[in-house]
Amino acid sequence: MKGRWLFVSIATMGLVPVVAFLLIVFWMGFWQGSPGDLVVYTLKHYRELFTDASTYRTLLNTLGFASTTVLISLSFAMPIEFFGSINWLRGKMLDGARVETESGTLVIQAPRQYEGSVVVGVRPENAKWFQPLADMENRFAATVLSITFLGDQATSEVKINDKILLAKTLPDDAKPAGAILVQLPKAKIVVFPETATQRDLDHK
């Protein structure tokens, strides 16, 4: 919680001079005359601005450009963020509901008809510290290797058998380095068939 409020405080402090500058510019828009002259306040400048058709053409062009840029960026960023940050485990289907992976046997929620080699994915925020009343499925003994605090979240490197996974938690929930129990909820596990291309890339 402290880390989150520190991040918010720093961001707010950075916004203060920006907002102050915008307010000064807005206030100066009411001035009539040149700097150094006697200040006369008027609505003339804003009246001309909001009655000029080119103002709205410029605004619409800016909104269209910004919207297009955001949509194109999201179309690339969202898949990259999802597949880039996810923990990937190689494994083999034991049956429709279980996968033998390099970290141990995982139970999945939705049965799959895949046979042979598969790839299992678990997002870092879905790797949970085991709770006493939680389901016993997909519980593994693990070792926390390192912790990195990033504003309102903490990223931990967790080693399960010989595989290192990433886990994301709130800063107050972060665990110190050492032994721990980790659970990978079956509802949050995704499974894909391993392709020949993926295997070839691994051997390069």
What pLDDT, on a 0 to 100 scale, did the predictor assign at position 84?
A: 66
Closest to 118 measured CA to CA, from 99, 142, 138, 133: 99
Domain boundaries, the chain: 2-84, 86-203
What is the per-residue pLDDT across 42-65, written as a single tens digit (0 to 9) for each?
A: 888 888 988 999 999 999 999 999
Determine the CATH number of domain 86-203: 2.40.50.140
What is the per-residue pLDDT across 1-21, written as a single tens digit (0 to 9) for each?
A: 555 677 778 888 888 999 999
Is residue 26 left, alpha or beta, with left meaning phi > 0 and alpha meaning psi from -120 to 50? alpha
- To the question of pTM greater than 0.75 for the whole model, the response is no
The continuous run of DSSP H or E covering 16 comes out as helix 2-28
Asked if the model's pLDDT at residue 204 lies above 50, the reply is no
pLDDT band, very low/low/confident/very high, at 28 (cuts 50, 70, 90): confident
Closest to 168 measured CA to CA, from 177, 158, 179, 176: 158
For the chain, where are the E strands, in sequence order?
31-32, 40-41, 87-95, 98-101, 104-107, 117-122, 128-129, 139-150, 153-160, 163-169, 178-183, 190-193
What is the per-residue pLDDT across 117-167, written as a single tens digit (0 to 9) for each?
A: 899 999 998 888 877 656 778 999 999 999 988 877 888 999 998 899 999
Closest to 155 measured CA to CA, from 174, 132, 181: 174
